[in-house]
Amino acid sequence: MRIVVTGAMGFIGRNFVQALNDKGYTDLILVDKLGTDERWKYLLDLRFEDFINHEEFRAKLKSNKAPGVDAIVHLGACSSTTETDADYLMDNNYHFSRELCEFSLASGARFVYASSAATYGDGSLGYSDVDTMTPKYRPLNMYGYSKHVFDLWALKNRLFDRIAGLKYFNVYGPWEDHKGDMRSLVNKAYHQINDTGKIKLFKSYHSDYQDGEQMRDFVYVRDAVNVTMHFMEYAKFSGLYNVGSGQARTWNDLAKAIFLAMGKVPDIEYIDMPDSLMDKYQYYTKADHQKLYGAAYTKDFTSIEDGVKDYVDSYLSNPPV
Q: In which residue ranges of the chain is pLDDT below 50?
A: none
What pLDDT was estimated at residue 321?
Answer: 64
Going by C-alpha positions, the residue among 139, 276, 261, 253 that lies closest to residue 201 is 253
Per-residue HEC secondary structure of the chain comes to CCEEEECCCCHHHHHHHHHHHHCCCCCEEEEECCCCCCHHHHHCCCCCCEEEEHHHHHHHHHCCCCCCCCEEEECCCCCCCCCCCHHHHHHHHHHHHHHHHHHHHHHCCEEEEEEEHHHHCCCCCCCCCCCCCHHHCCCCCHHHHHHHHHHHHHHHCCCCCCCEEEEECEEECCCCHHHHHHCCHHHHHHHHHHHHCCEEEECCCCCCCCCCCCEECEEEHHHHHHHHHHHHHCCCCCEEEEECCCCCEEHHHHHHHHHHHHCCCCCEEEECCCHHHHHHCCCECCCCCHHHHHCCCCCCCCCHHHHHHHHHHHHHCCCCC
What pLDDT was estimated at residue 39?
Answer: 85
Write down the catalytic residue from 179, 200, 280, 309.
179
Cβ 169 vs Cβ 285: under 8 Å:
yes
What pLDDT was estimated at residue 227?
Answer: 98
Q: Round to whole Å and give the CA distance between 23 and 132.
A: 36
What pLDDT was estimated at residue 307?
Answer: 98
Which domains are present in the chain? Answer: 3-170+218-245+288-301 (3.40.50.720)
- Is 113 assigned a catalytic role? no
Going by C-alpha positions, the residue among 131, 79, 69 that lies closest to residue 100 is 69
Phi-psi region at 64: left, alpha or beta (left = phi > 0; alpha = psi -120 to 50): left
Q: Round to whole Å and give the CA distance between 163 and 161.
A: 6
- Is 143 assigned a catalytic role? yes
Write down the catalytic residue from 25, 137, 143, 220.
143
What pLDDT was estimated at residue 226?
Answer: 98
Q: Round to whole Å and give the CA distance between 164 and 216.
A: 24
